Chain A
Amino acid sequence: MGTLSERILNGTAGEYVDRAVDRAYVHDGTGVLTLEAWKSMGERRLRDATQLHVLFDHIIPANNSTTATLQHELREFARSSFLHFSDIGGGICHQIMSEGIVLPGEVVVGADSHSCTLGAFGAFATGVGATDMAAIWMTGETWFRVPESIGMHLSGTLTGAAEAKDLALTYVSRLGMDGASYQSLEFIGDGTAALSMDDRLTLCNLAVETGAKAGMFYADDVTVQYLATAGHAVKPQEPEPCKYIQEIDFDLSDIVPVIALPPRVDTVKPVHVLVGLPLDQVFVGTCTNGRYTDLARFARIVKGRNVAIRTIVVPASRAVLQEAIRTGVLASLVEAGCTIGTPGCGPCLGAHMGVLGEGEVCLSTANRNFKNRMGVGGEIYLSSVATAAASALEGEITEPEVA
């Protein structure tokens, strides 16, 4: 009995527990600090390297020799210590972990705030910092405060041009940037069944933008089928009676295309209110919306036409890129004038390629629009893939057409 968080963490909401970690991962950014902290902890042992992943995604390929040197050290360590290693071009850490690695019921920690993405599989997945991760490398476990959970009741189906991203931004707006602090979002109700794994990953990805520790779906037939294609036989998780700290209803048929205005993810307006706002750049990708279905949706809208402004498309992983090559999606994107980046985080965090200049405006499918995040003096608006595609064709914010 209990919420999914309580069942997986084997505790009651509010309780502090020590739990073994099934999967732990770092990227090139947080991995450098993790390695430093781990070395400083004295006893240089790894509890179990088979549970540990190092995935390069943040600044790839390296933008300068300082970054390259930091990455070199981490790469050598990962290889020599037999950690699972994904080098540049492999893709975003959360995406790779979603391609048949994370399984329902697991405790997963990533040294990145968007590690909550993997709750889409019915895992308890959350972000930690580098020093916490170093201790996890050493001991294989960490402490958690078992979170209270908010029941996110979904009913109906998405209609028109609305996507899971629009629902995600809508719920962030409803809860606010700290509306779920220290809590978990559990997506439940009849409306969940029609959501694909990609939709669920997008919805769980934004959980941290409400302050939540985790965003979770119960594993169901969709999860079972998705993981079967990756060679895993898993069972659905049956919800049990449990106590939610709060329950919120979302009728999916009410969801319309929306945009989050800079510099807050919870300042959300319908797209039609912003139509005509001039743009300098469109960015499609990230752990929010860089999956194959996202690229295919974008390509379907821009195919045979030309984007009016610079448009950067970054596949979330090599597998996504390969699928886009195989199906012709990549060709459609390139023919429409899009620039394709190396699978990874792209310009989302503002550290390299595709950053904005002073006064420039970007419409992005990512998850954060904080001040100066993608470049000093630049502004970031967040939207769905369809809104980004329609807007890329016009060079200004444009309402997506119903497919």
Chain B
Amino acid sequence: MQGKGRAVCIGADIDTDLVIAGRYLRTKDHSIWVAHVFEDLDPSLASSMNGAVIVAGKNFGCGSSREQAAIAIREAGVVAVVAPSFARIFFRNAINVGLPLIECNLSCTQGSPVTFELAEGWVEAEGKKYTTRPLSPRMQEIVAAGGLVNYWRTCR
């Protein structure tokens, strides 16, 4: 699975409270999460998410298990998240909702194009190609299906 987007650089140890705050969780209306994504980190980020590849520091998605964080990022139009490491519950959640994650320590230039290929395991930015650890075959199947719900609906 190949993808492409524009880099949006953010810091390390971004917790899921910062992705979507507890005060916005009690709804099934995804547009509320999209409107407030990353609000407590930087309120201007929400408007730059469509078509973005988020390039973050280590331990992205730590803290609460709230799946709304992964859904908010995906629904906001983010193509993939690249980080040297992800917190494990967020990692599973993102795969399960069909948000591609790439484990890579990428130096980030705001707005520069980033391309990636999940199955082959590479990401390219600023003319440099990095090899990444590919997702396990099952995780790739889940992402390719568009998430775990579709995986169960179609793959059984």
Contacts and interface: CB of A to CB of B under 8 A. Distances in A.
Interface in A87-113: 111-113
Interface in A51-97: 59, 63, 66-67, 70
Contacts of B26: 29, 59, 63, 66-67, 70, 351
A185 to B, nearest CB: 14
B64 interface: yes
A127 B65 contact: yes
A40 B146 CA distance: 13
Contacts of B18: 370-371
A376 B93 contact: no
Interface residues of B, number: 38
A128 B59 contact: no
Nearest to A355: B23
A58 to B, nearest CB: 9
Interface residues of A, number: 45
A66 B27 contact: yes
Contacts of A113: 63-65, 89
Interface in A138-195: 138, 143, 177-178, 181-182
A92 B57 CA distance: 33
A371 B40 contact: yes
Contacts of A63: 26
Given A33-B68, A370-B17, A373-B17, A351 B23 contact: yes
A354 interface: no
Interface string A14-34: 001000000000000110110
B17 A372 contact: yes
Contact of A135 (B62, B88, B152): B152
A282 B103 CA distance: 40
Nearest to A348: B22
Contacts, number: 119
A350 interface: yes
A41 interface: yes
Interface in B5-35: 13, 15, 17-18, 21-23, 25-28
A376 B23 CA distance: 10
Contact of B64 (A70, A264, A349): A349
A130 B70 CA distance: 11
A127 B61 CA distance: 14
B17 A371 contact: yes
Interface in A243-265: 264
A376 B40 CA distance: 8
B85 A134 contact: no
Nearest to B84: A178
B149 A37 contact: yes
B87 to A, nearest CB: 6
A129 B18 CA distance: 17
Given A40-B153, A59-B26, A112 B88 contact: no
Contacts of A127: 65, 89
Interface of A: 16, 29-30, 32-33, 36-37, 40-43, 59, 63, 66-67, 70, 111-113, 127-132, 134-135, 138, 143, 177-178, 181-182, 211, 213, 264, 349-351, 368, 370-373, 376
8 contacts: A29-B66, A30-B67, A37-B148, A129-B70, A129-B93, A131-B147, A351-B23, A376-B21
Shortest Cβ-Cβ A-B pairs, 7 listed: A129-B93, A178-B59, A131-B96, A129-B67, A113-B65, A349-B22, A372-B40
